[in-house]
Amino acid sequence: MSKKKVDFMCTAFRDGFQSVYGARVFTKDFMPAVAAAREAGITHFEAGGGARFQSLYFYTNEDAFEMMDEFRRVAGPDANLQTLARGVNVVGLDSQPRDIIKLHAQLFKKHGMTTIRNFDALNDVNNLIDSGKAIHDAGLKHEVTVTMMSLPEGVTGAHTPDFYERILREILDASIPFDSVCFKDASGTSTPHNVFETIKRARKLLGPNVKIVFHSHETAGVSIAQYMAALDAGADSIDLSMTPCSGGTCQPDILTMWHAFRGTDYTLDVDINKVREAEKVFEKCMEDYFLPPEATAVNPEIPFFPLPGGALTANTQMLRDNGLMDKYPQIVEAMGETVAKGGFGTSVTPVSQFYFQQAFNNVMFGPWKKFAEGYGKMVLGYFGKTPVAPDPEVVKLASEQLHLQPTTEKVVDINDKDPKKGVEAAKKMLEEANLPITDENIFIAAACKEKGILYLTGKAKVNGVRLKSEMKKEAEAKAAAAAPKAANAGNGEYTVTVNGKAYGVKLAAGSATVNGVQYPYSIADGIAAQSAPAQQAAPVQAAPVQQAVVTGAENITAPMPGLVLRIEVKEGDAVKKDQVIAVMEAMKMENEIYAPCDGVISSIAVSQGQQLQSGDLLMTIGGVVQAAPAVQPAPVQAAPAPQVAPEPAPAAQPAPQAAPVAPAAGATTIEAPMPGLVLRVSVKKGDAVKKDDVVMVMEAMKMENEIYSPCDGVVQDILVNQGDQLSAGTALIIIG
């Protein structure tokens, strides 16, 4: 009896990248591996979509359409190049209107793709109708998808074979055109029993000729058992990957599946030795990329917080970017509640991201104190119907915080009426940035918003790509930066500027030569005394320069690491307490920064796109500059004659420098609440603002975070620009 040849798609270059490297891989680095896989006889590749669209603009500073063109060139004209689409969300986290959904399919066809796997994380079939039709009408193959996962033991609410059979029947009843059907378990948590029963029912419904695909990840350790169950139940095709993007958070390796098939009725139609050679090439291509330890491990806890492989490492990479990796255990522990109270949508992008973002907020700000926009809109119905009704109290809180009413209206109908979405809105963004109006640019602007514009205007920078060689350089640079402290105890030559005077200082074995005069010195950690002993020589002291004193100014700092998405005010703007003055992004969420008081923005210390650390200064609000009382020269105490050294003469007398502009009394500085990118500055210097006005938007963790003015006032200064990457606490705007 001949063995059944099992079809497979190689996911290494999309889902593999997303599941291991957070989708942050340069095109030039992996194309030799694509060529090697082609030589090994592999003809079906996942080539883009999912996070591998936005990530090129967000992290690698590359064009996703150019990447797809190059993939087609290397893979050859006959390869089946497949991408992943998120229903009405296409390749982003936000949902789109019909014109952008249509443009997505047309452009992916134009740039060499063959098939689009199309899913909705909520399994709301309404979200598959327009997207499926657009894919079919563009001349692409449509692989319609049912999304799967398991719920923790004792928890009920959808995700059973009965539920999946109902969704498939709804797809058939909706007359959505498709070429194949995929059952997609992004978290790898479905039990093999449920997989078998679901595929068996699907085969009965679809008949013998419709291609059925099963997709999973090894994250929970059961993917091989799932694949065998799916094939035994009648599936035709599975997804496999190649090392170093296989196992762990990824799909099983081609070699692993080939081995599992030995002695069974199944086989893979490949030359296994050529595949081994291709995997060696791939490993060589990726040898400089940091391999997160969590990407290679099976996690037995995953069934209790179903985080997909493609989202797990993307989120841990973002936590590393923002210095928050220590919060990861608390965040995943909090995910269970966000799933249960959010309506049990399948944990696959974008819903998996919504779960993680809300868990992140619940940990960082307190349970349900701050709603991630995506999660809040999901429970309110703006992404479609959840499998079961969300928790009523969560719905109530989301409605209050987001100022939105729950809805049952179809998502594309809502979006078609939204003037901020669609082709015309994208054209407006391009025109305002003086960019050419092309279909590609329109789609980039629609899918990536301000970060797409930053890329198109050349303001974006490579960030978040973790190369071991670069990490080594950074470590060496940090060590070098720390070296002068140690060098002070040894030899060295320095220019030391004190009170505007520059001195040439040479250090050598316990003596310091200052402008040619030698002094004994020693250094010890800490401050051992408040003043020098009487026998020490005292320097001649000039009368201090009269300093300006700032009263009433308030600094606003970043509450967490993140990216400055938008600055909603400008210097001189008047703002009110609790007005949004900036928006930061952290963990793919927008976090609004509020003015802590009424006042005028006196300075903004950050710019859009800047990456911040927690505590970085954002802005200063208020403040009146007043002259300090005159200070009399301090008396000089003479030392015993034998020990007196002359006052060192300045090496050079620099021109007087203007002192930094200080916030006026009563001014408030708005600071970045987290590290992130400045997406938008919503005000300009001199603008009057009210408390709670949005003055800026920052992006962090792929969330837009609005920064609010904490008070009424006028924007005195804007300290950051669009595109600036900020640390938490960076000053953004000064309101006075």
Predicted confidence (pLDDT) at residue 265 exceeds the cutoff of 60: yes
Asked which of 181-185, 444-448, 628-632 is least confident by mean pLDDT, the reply is 628-632
Mean pLDDT of the chain: 86
Q: Which residue, chain included where needed, has tokens 């009382």? A: 629
Over residues 502-516, the mean pLDDT reads 67
Convert the pLDDT of each residue in 19-37 to its tens digit: 999 999 999 999 999 999 9
Q: Which of 239, 233, 190, 189 is nearest to 213 (CA)?
A: 239
Q: Are 724 and 617 in contact (CB under 8 A)?
A: no
CA-only gyration radius of the chain, Å? 30
- For residue 532, the model assigns a pLDDT of 40
Over residues 126-132, the mean pLDDT reads 98
Over residues 239-255, the mean pLDDT reads 97
Q: How many residues does the chain have?
A: 736
| C-alpha to C-alpha distance for 720 and 558, rounded to whole angstroms | 13
Predicted confidence (pLDDT) at residue 555 exceeds the cutoff of 60: yes
Alpha helices, DSSP H, located in 207-308: 223-233, 254-260, 272-285
| C-alpha to C-alpha distance for 734 and 736, rounded to whole angstroms | 7
Convert the pLDDT of each residue in 397-443 to its tens digit: 999 999 999 999 999 999 999 999 999 999 999 999 999 999 999 99
Q: Are 404 and 377 in contact (CB under 8 A)?
A: yes
- For residue 615, the model assigns a pLDDT of 82
CB crowding 378-412: b at 16 or more within 10 Å, else e: bbbbbbbbbbbebbeebbebbbeebeeeeeeebbb
Predicted confidence (pLDDT) at residue 723 exceeds the cutoff of 50: yes
- For residue 546, the model assigns a pLDDT of 40
Q: Where are the beta strands (DSSP E) in 94-232?
A: 115-118, 141-147, 180-184, 211-215
Asked which of 81-85, 305-309, 524-528 is least confident by mean pLDDT, the reply is 524-528
Question: On the CB side of 719, how many CA atoms lie within 13 Å of its CA?
Answer: 34
Asked which of 35-39, 371-375, 665-669, 690-694 is least confident by mean pLDDT, the reply is 665-669
Q: Which of 95, 116, 274 is nearest to 180 (CA)?
A: 116
Q: Which residue, chain included where needed, has tokens 């669609």? A: 422
- For residue 631, the model assigns a pLDDT of 41
- For residue 91, the model assigns a pLDDT of 97
Predicted confidence (pLDDT) at residue 542 exceeds the cutoff of 80: no
Predicted confidence (pLDDT) at residue 635 exceeds the cutoff of 50: no
Q: How confident is residue 362, by pLDDT bands cut at 50, 70 and 90?
A: very high
Over residues 505-512, the mean pLDDT reads 68
Residue 283: C-alpha distances to residues 84, 243, 246 (Å): 24, 7, 11
Bigger pLDDT: 63 or 347? 63
- For residue 275, the model assigns a pLDDT of 98
**Element spanning 401, H or E:** helix 392-402
Q: Which residue, chain included where needed, has tokens 């015993």? A: 640
Q: Which of 128, 695, 165 is nearest to 385 (CA)?
A: 128
| C-alpha to C-alpha distance for 273 and 279, rounded to whole angstroms | 10
The tokens for 123 are 């399994």
| C-alpha to C-alpha distance for 635 and 161, rounded to whole angstroms | 89
Predicted confidence (pLDDT) at residue 654 exceeds the cutoff of 50: no
Asked which of 59-63, 174-178, 576-580 is least confident by mean pLDDT, the reply is 576-580
The answer to whether the bond into 293 is cis (omega within 30° of 0) is: no
- For residue 614, the model assigns a pLDDT of 79
Question: On the CB side of 218, how many CA atoms lie within 13 Å of its CA?
Answer: 25
| C-alpha to C-alpha distance for 390 and 351, rounded to whole angstroms | 13
Percent of the chain with pLDDT over 70: 84
Q: How confident is residue 235, by pLDDT bands cut at 50, 70 and 90?
A: very high
Asked which of 70-74, 104-108, 308-312, 463-467 is least confident by mean pLDDT, the reply is 308-312
Over residues 111-137, the mean pLDDT reads 98
- Top-confidence range, 289-303, 451-465, 590-604, 611-625: 451-465
* DSSP string for residues in 25-94: --HHHHHHHHHHHHHTT--EEEEEETHHHHHIIIII---HHHHHHHHHHHH-TT-EEEEEE-GGGTTSSS
Domains of the chain: 8-295 (3.20.20.70), 548-628+660-735 (2.40.50.100)
pTM over 0.75? The answer is no
Predicted confidence (pLDDT) at residue 518 exceeds the cutoff of 70: no
Q: Are 437 and 427 in contact (CB under 8 A)?
A: yes
For the chain, the 3-state helix, strand and coil shares in percent, each to the nearest 5, are 35, 25, 40
- For residue 552, the model assigns a pLDDT of 59
Q: Which residue, chain included where needed, has tokens 């590749």? A: 45
Convert the pLDDT of each residue in 569-601 to its tens digit: 998 888 999 899 998 877 656 788 999 988 899
